[in-house]
Amino acid sequence: MITPGQRMPIVIATRPVDFRRGHDGLAATVQNELGLDPHSGLTVVFRSKRGDRVKILVWDGTGLVLVYKRLDEGRFAWPAVQDGVMRLTRAQFEALFEGLDWRRVTPRRVRRPETAA
């Protein structure tokens, strides 16, 4: 699978989109409706109305990559439907893509070790 970059943001477009849209239509949605740059390396996750399908749009530096996944059973866990986007950590994104409840993945802050005396 093509994975998003470590440093680039990953966002969910919280409102379902028409899944007949392809690369250009989704890139236009990112730019015109979400106010983001689809060519910045940003990873945008789109949801279907039924919630069992996901499209992921990523700019890899040479072109737009579109990943499509449909779960055989069940639905993806989604945030409440509203306008705008919601940011995900890489771990949350990976859980979402696997069909797991990404809301149970909580980011941990690792404290810097103190120097030994």
Domain of 94, in residue numbers: 10-104
Amino acid code (one letter) for 72: D
Could you tell me if residue 73 is inside a domain? Answer: yes
Could you tell me if residue 2 is inside a domain? Answer: no
Could you tell me if residue 31 is inside a domain? Answer: yes
Domain count, the chain: 1
Could you tell me if residue 69 is inside a domain? Answer: yes
pLDDT by residue (tens digit) across 49-106?
A: 988 999 999 988 889 999 999 999 888 888 887 888 888 888 889 988 888 888 877 7
Could you tell me if residue 110 is inside a domain? Answer: no
pLDDT by residue (tens digit) across 7-55?
A: 678 999 989 999 999 999 999 999 999 999 999 989 999 999 988 999 9
Supply the pLDDT for residue 4.
54
Q: Spell out the alpha helix ranges (H) of the chain.
A: 23-28, 90-97
Nearest to 76, CA basis, from 94, 57, 101: 101
State how far the Cα of 1 lies from the Cα of 67, in Å rounded to an integer: 9
Supply the pLDDT for residue 58.
93
Supply the pLDDT for residue 1.
47
Nearest to 103, CA basis, from 112, 95, 113: 95
